[in-house]
Chain A
Amino acid sequence: MKVLSDTTVKRIKEEILPRYPEVTSAILPSLWEVQRELGWVSADAVKDIAEVLNVPAELVFDTLSFYTMFQKRPVGKFHIQVCTNVSCDLLGAMGVVEAFKKQLGVEVGETTQDGMFSLSTVECLGACGEAVVVQINDEYYTGVTPEKVAEILETLKRSA
């Protein structure tokens, strides 16, 4: 193992694998497990997963490359993802994006220098009734307006 911890390996073997009739099904949950532990999925992590599951690394790479939620490079401690799909757009998502850009001093797709915040735009988060919706790590923030951005960032900084 290059990067996977013993706990992760154990969890993959003892908790994830037994759930499935076929081993390839364990690829996605293993990628999630690794991302949860390390924050992103490196090439070394992929090789480790392939080794634990005893499947070709190419298969794991192929699966990884398809899914947008897996981070293929390190992201900030807080990953801010603003929904800009139709219902959020109607209620001002672009203004929210602008507010984050301005207050963080980054463009969409970038991370602040201190590695704290990454900013992305995403497609519909499935919570359109509470637009504008922003996902920050695992949490949904709803009814976000440009005015609320400063407060959200303050709270995050305090929790860091």
Chain B
Amino acid sequence: MKGEWVIFPGIPKKDRKSLNEYLAAGGYEAARKVLTQMGSQDVIEEVKKSGLRGRGGAGFPAGVKWGFVPRDVEGPRYLCCNADEGEPGTFKDREILLHVPHQLIEGMIIASYAIGANKAFVYVRGEFHKEAASLQRAIDEAKEKGFLGENLFGSDFSLDIVVHMGAGAYVCGEETALINSIEGRRGWPRLRPPFPAVKGLYGRPTIVNNVETLASVPFIISRGADEFRKYGTEKSAGTKLFAVSGWVKKPGVYERELGIPLKELLEDVCGGSRDGRPFYFVIPGGISAPPLTADELDVTMDYEALAEKGTMLGSGAVMVFPEGTCPVRVALRAIKFYEHESCGQCTPCREGSGWVARMLEDVEKGQLVGEDLELLADVAQNIFGKTVCPLGDSVALVTLGFLKKFREEFEKHLDAGRCPYAE
């Protein structure tokens, strides 16, 4: 299958976790090449040319983002690697941390060099003790070998990487909240502009990239942007780690090229339905991506095709639900998550997520009166676009997405005065 474990062969093979294993597989050659033969602008151009887009959710082109760092300011800049992996449904970055930590470190060396950072942080979600330990072990190995520290590969470039543990807050995955959290403050997202690339960590130019984004960079440098572009589509280049969970026989993390048909991913890669029950709906990009119903599954897994269907690729987290799943329950569970995780800074998100959750609870019990579904939509709609960070938007999009696609199911609850799915 095209794009099968091209960039991350070490994940299924589990054969390059240690520094020696990684070196034997050609590891750190890309970093060496960058530091001994390339200027920082060359690196940025190559990554731009590759079309690599951010794998953390928003899909912003990585090279373009790096180019936003002002070249003429004196003083420190920072690279932050986002290993918060908080979007429900997402469990891919931990595979990188556990099995190919050196690939991430190498990507961070290259990115740091490109933006002129001598200090980088990896923000790891607080629950990931094993993952953080695996990464720290790799950092220590790299340091010992001189791949981190002073004068890397004989150049005058130095880099230090610090692992910083989060402590349980989904919103800290948002890049400006993440920056506040590294600064030791509550994880409140910041208003933009200024963008982190100009004024981020400690008020300095800062780039935040996802684990998978950074770990894809060594491939682009060693094999070239064109080789990367052989996979994926014109606008969604390369491969992606898909994390599939829910009602499939073989849930797990799979690298395939972007643009793989969703049905192929579910049927051929993940073995289809657990018990033969047909799929009812699929959330294609983490909980914040509106659902696709069974008759919408003829879609390819790339940024454009999913956006056309009113949803998104997000982090590549695919959640699969069989017939017999109550969509109201899933919507309610999602909104309760946002209610719990809202940082409380913006009134529409803080209050709105609570109102929407209460109303969905009433729908689930069949207690909301008919036209109140309009009110539900109205409350949700009113959160959209009025908040500091996109978490508030997700409350709106998820609610409206479920309401639009499963209107009849919502109404069935109200007609029956209870959840028709409850046994």
Q: Residues on A close to B: CB < 8 A?
A: 19-22, 24-29, 31-32, 59, 62-63, 65-70, 84-87, 89-91, 122-131, 135, 138, 140
Contacts of A131 in B (CB 8 A): 245-246, 251
Contacts of A70 in B (CB 8 A): 167-168
Contacts of B85 in A (CB 8 A): 126
Contact of B170 among A89, A123, A130 (CB under 8 A): A123
Contacts of B321 in A (CB 8 A): 90
Task: Given A86-B333, A128-B245, A129-B251, verify A67-B167 contact (CB < 8 Å).
Answer: yes
Q: How far is the CB of B215 from chain A (nearest CB, A)?
A: 17
- B390 at the binding interface (Cβ < 8 Å): no
Contact B187 A128, beta carbon cutoff 8 Å: no
Q: How far is the CB of B178 from chain A (nearest CB, A)?
A: 12
- B243 at the binding interface (Cβ < 8 Å): yes
Contacts of A129 in B (CB 8 A): 91, 243-245, 251-253
The complex places the Cα of A27 from the Cα of B165 at a distance, in Å, of 11
Contact B86 A124, beta carbon cutoff 8 Å: yes
Q: Which of B214-271 contact A (CB under 8 A)?
A: 243-247, 251-253
Interface centre among B91, B129, B244, B329 (most CB of A within 10 A): B91
Encode contact with A along B392-422: 1 for CB under 8 Å, 0 otherwise: 0000000000000000000000000000000
Contact B185 A24, beta carbon cutoff 8 Å: yes
Contact B167 A124, beta carbon cutoff 8 Å: no
Contact of A24 among B184, B317, B334 (CB under 8 A): B184
- B65 at the binding interface (Cβ < 8 Å): no
Encode contact with A along B122-136: 1 for CB under 8 Å, 0 otherwise: 000111111000000
Q: How far is the CB of B54 from chain A (nearest CB, A)?
A: 18
**Interface pairs (23), CB distance under 8 Å:** A21-B119, A22-B183, A24-B185, A26-B184, A28-B164, A28-B166, A59-B184, A59-B185, A62-B185, A62-B186, A68-B169, A69-B167, A85-B88, A86-B88, A86-B287, A86-B319, A86-B330, A87-B88, A123-B340, A126-B127, A128-B319, A129-B251, A130-B251
Interface centre among B86, B126, B245, B333 (most CB of A within 10 A): B245
The complex places the Cα of A29 from the Cα of B185 at a distance, in Å, of 12
- B209 at the binding interface (Cβ < 8 Å): no
Contacts of A63 in B (CB 8 A): 184-186
Contact B325 A25, beta carbon cutoff 8 Å: no
Task: Given A87-B89, A128-B243, verify A135-B167 contact (CB < 8 Å).
Answer: no
Interface size bracket, B side: 35 or more
Contacts of A19 in B (CB 8 A): 162
Task: Given A69-B126, A85-B333, verify A20-B162 contact (CB < 8 Å).
Answer: yes
Task: Given A24-B184, A123-B340, verify A67-B245 contact (CB < 8 Å).
Answer: no
Task: Given A66-B169, A131-B245, verify A124-B88 contact (CB < 8 Å).
Answer: yes
Task: Given A24-B183, A67-B167, A129-B243, verify A135-B127 contact (CB < 8 Å).
Answer: yes
- B210 at the binding interface (Cβ < 8 Å): no
Task: Given A28-B181, A86-B287, A86-B333, verify A128-B167 contact (CB < 8 Å).
Answer: no
Task: Given A90-B246, A128-B88, A128-B251, verify A21-B76 contact (CB < 8 Å).
Answer: yes
Contact B251 A69, beta carbon cutoff 8 Å: no
Contact of A123 among B162, B167, B245, B341 (CB under 8 A): B341
Contact of B165 among A28, A65, A125, A130 (CB under 8 A): A28
Contacts of B162 in A (CB 8 A): 19-20
The complex places the Cα of A69 from the Cα of B247 at a distance, in Å, of 30
* Closest residue on chain A to residue B83 by CB atoms: A126
Contact A28 B167, beta carbon cutoff 8 Å: yes
Contacts of A90 in B (CB 8 A): 246-247, 319, 321, 325, 330
Interface centre among A25, A65, A70, A91 (most CB of B within 10 A): A25
Contacts of A32 in B (CB 8 A): 126, 165, 167
Contact B325 A67, beta carbon cutoff 8 Å: no
- B182 at the binding interface (Cβ < 8 Å): yes
Contacts of A123 in B (CB 8 A): 88, 170, 337, 340-341
- Known interface pairs A63-B185, A68-B168, A124-B88; 12 further A-B residue pairs with C-beta atoms within 8 A, sorted by A's residue number: A28-B167, A67-B169, A70-B168, A86-B330, A90-B246, A90-B319, A90-B330, A123-B88, A123-B337, A124-B87, A129-B253, A131-B245
Task: Given A19-B162, A126-B90, A129-B252, verify A66-B182 contact (CB < 8 Å).
Answer: no
Q: How far is the CB of A159 from chain B (nearest CB, A)?
A: 17
Contact of B94 among A87, A91, A126 (CB under 8 A): A126
Contact B245 A85, beta carbon cutoff 8 Å: no
Q: How far is the CB of B58 from chain A (nearest CB, A)?
A: 19
Contact A87 B246, beta carbon cutoff 8 Å: yes
Contact A87 B319, beta carbon cutoff 8 Å: yes
* Closest residue on chain B to residue A69 by CB atoms: B168
* Closest residue on chain A to residue B167 by CB atoms: A67
Contact A69 B127, beta carbon cutoff 8 Å: yes
* Closest residue on chain A to residue B319 by CB atoms: A87
